[in-house]
């Protein structure tokens, strides 16, 4: 008999768990288990003595071919099974002198073997799926990295207690997160009202400026025409008037005044569009969705992030004929903002390197087609089978609006992409809320749409947002 299995078959002992603190990621290896096994030809009386000495010992593992390099695990005989044998008429007298293998062959149940790396939540689901007569039976835990202790026994009560502890922690965390989200939503709602009020106050004086610019332009043109008429009929200018003309540089004023009016007009128009974009972005959604212009919303968000772009990133728009769709536009604006700001962040480093190459490396100058850029596409499209779970036979129906936002940044590695895709799951969102995870929830759960993410290292990243037209 090999030395590790001599130790393994000697006496039962308790294996302490790896971690006393349980959380959502806790595994079976974190729970205390019992290490106890006997050969199949061992007597039942030996098991009875061990059960009397160790009141919490849930069962015994039955082994055969101990002398070989790979001993075989026959099965698990639990305390409850043995007790059922002994309460039968003359059961104790019959079984006490019998080998374990014979006793197990009388009524042994199939054992449930789970790896120690399995989470407690998942293990509890497997345990509950067993037939009713096996619900109270212990579980065999497989230890792959320990040849001296290949298997141990987990009391089902310990698993259930740990499971409910974790579920209690999960419920408490979800409750606290819900409270935080409610407070955050109220803060954002108040901030939205505040920004909307500020934008409204900006639009009022902008309206005064914009309304008077037309009159100012007409007055300026009239004065210039009047001055030209005076010069035509009175070519001889008195010295005092001539000195005044030189003082104010009349020729420059004549050429520059239209440009000043045009500059004021452009500034007022930009301020008006910026304030309007703020109002649209801070739109507070009602209980029911309303028709909204997606192209106008995206244009407004692009205007808001112009300060981050600073002309270094090219924005290319491909807008098709898309009717207003019924949606919660305030939440979709948040989705668009999250995706666009992520794209801008991914392109900033590339823009810096591009500037360096253009200044210090003219031989290796990057062509315009390789400049940092973001492409925004909006169109009515049909969803094919590889783009979603549309039933076959319905892919030709153009009942979806596609919003595609792509960049030619550095892209993501497979591990980074996997981590982001995992954040889309409900469990990961509960564990740690992310902007893209929240965006996925808004698109899918709130609007019944689909959010696809593709990325290739060195090529770029592409988001596809599919929203139903009806």
Q: Residue 49: is its pLDDT beyond 90?
A: no
Mean pLDDT of 445-467: 89
pLDDT of residue 386: 53
pLDDT of residue 92: 60
Q: Angle of helix 79-86 relative to helix 100-107, nearest 10 degrees?
A: 90
Instruction: Kindly report, residue by residue over 70-121, the tens digit of the pLDDT.
Output: 678 888 888 888 887 777 665 566 666 778 787 787 767 788 999 988 888 8
Query: Which ranges in 361-444 belong to alpha helices (H)?
Result: 414-422, 426-431, 435-441
Q: Which of 71, 81, 143 is nearest to 114 (CA)?
A: 143
Q: Residue 64: is its pLDDT beyond 70?
A: yes
Burial of 171-190, coded b for 16+ CB within 10 Å and e otherwise, reads eeeeeebeeeeeeeeeeeee
Tokens linked to 59? 């069962």
Q: What is the distance between the terminal CA atoms of the chain, rounded to a whole angstrom?
A: 73
Confidence of residue 181 (pLDDT cuts 50, 70, 90): low
pLDDT of residue 205: 80
Count, residues in the chain: 470
pLDDT of residue 305: 82
Mean pLDDT of 406-416: 86
Mean pLDDT of the chain: 78
Mean pLDDT of 273-293: 74
Q: Residue 4: is its pLDDT beyond 50?
A: no
C-beta contacts of 111-115 below 8 A and 24+ residues apart: 111/75, 111/76, 111/137, 111/139, 111/140, 112/137, 112/139, 112/140, 113/139, 113/140, 113/141, 113/142, 113/151, 114/28, 114/139, 114/140, 114/141, 114/142, 115/28, 115/141, 115/142, 115/144
Query: Which ranges in 36-130 belong to alpha helices (H)?
Result: 44-53, 79-86, 91-95, 100-107, 120-128
pTM, whole model, 2 decimals? 0.50
Percent share of the chain, pLDDT over 70: 75
Instruction: Kindly report, residue by residue over 347-403, the tens digit of the pLDDT.
Output: 876 666 656 666 565 544 444 457 788 999 999 988 765 555 443 334 445 589 999
Mean pLDDT of 1-12: 51
Instruction: Kindly report, residue by residue over 248-279, the tens digit of the pLDDT.
Output: 888 888 888 888 888 888 888 888 877 777 77
Confidence of residue 2 (pLDDT cuts 50, 70, 90): very low
């Amino acid at each position: 008999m090999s030395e590790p299995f001599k130790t393994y078959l000697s006496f039962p002992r308790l294996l302490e768990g790896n971690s006393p603190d349980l959380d959502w990621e806790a595994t079976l290896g974190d729970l205390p288990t019992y290490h106890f096994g006997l050969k199949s030809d061992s007597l039942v009386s030996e098991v009875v003595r061990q059960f009397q000495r160790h009141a919490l010992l849930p069962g015994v593992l039955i082994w055969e071919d101990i002398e070989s390099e790979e001993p075989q695990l026959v099965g698990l005989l639990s305390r409850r099974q043995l007790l059922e044998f002994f309460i039968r008429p003359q059961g104790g007298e019959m079984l006490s002198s019998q080998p374990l293998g014979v006793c197990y062959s009388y009524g042994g149940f199939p054992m449930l073997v789970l790896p120690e790396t399995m989470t407690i939540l998942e293990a509890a689901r497997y345990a509950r799926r067993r037939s009713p007569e096996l619900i109270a039976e212990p579980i065999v835990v497989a230890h792959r990295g320990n040849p001296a202790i290949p298997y141990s026994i987990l009391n089902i009560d310990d698993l259930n207690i740990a499971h409910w502890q974790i579920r209690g922690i999960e419920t408490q965390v979800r409750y606290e997160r819900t409270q935080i989200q409610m407070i955050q939503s109220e803060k954002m709602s108040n901030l939205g009202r505040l920004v909307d009020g500020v934008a409204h106050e900006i639009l009022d004086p902008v309206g005064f400026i914009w309304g008077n610019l037309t009159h100012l332009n007409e007055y300026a043109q009239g004065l210039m025409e009047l001055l030209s008429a005076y010069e035509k009929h009175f070519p001889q200018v008195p010295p005092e008037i001539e000195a005044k003309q030189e003082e104010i540089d009349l020729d420059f004023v004549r050429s520059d005044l239209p440009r000043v009016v045009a500059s004021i007009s452009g500034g007022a128009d930009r301020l008006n569009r910026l304030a309007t974009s703020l109002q649209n972005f801070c739109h507070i959604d009602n209980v029911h969705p309303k028709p909204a212009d997606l192209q106008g919303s995206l244009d407004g968000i692009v205007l808001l992030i112009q300060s981050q772009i600073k002309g270094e990133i090219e924005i290319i728009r491909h807008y098709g004929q898309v009717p207003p769709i019924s949606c919660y536009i305030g939440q979709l604006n948040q989705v668009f903002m999250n995706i666009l700001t992520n794209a801008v962040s991914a392109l900033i480093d590339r823009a810096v390197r591009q500037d360096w190459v253009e200044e210090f490396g003219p031989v290796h100058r990057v062509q315009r087609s390789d400049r940092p850029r973001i492409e925004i596409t909006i169109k009515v499209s049909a969803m094919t089978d590889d783009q979603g779970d549309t039933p076959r036979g319905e892919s030709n129906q153009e009942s979806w609006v596609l919003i595609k936002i792509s960049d030619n940044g550095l892209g993501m590695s497979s591990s980074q992409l996997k981590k982001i895709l995992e954040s889309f799951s409900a469990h990961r969102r509960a564990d740690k809320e992310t902007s893209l995870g929240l965006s996925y929830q808004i698109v899918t759960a709130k609007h019944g749409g689909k959010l696809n993410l593709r990325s290739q290292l060195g090529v770029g990243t592409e988001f596809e947002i599919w929203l139903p037209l009806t």
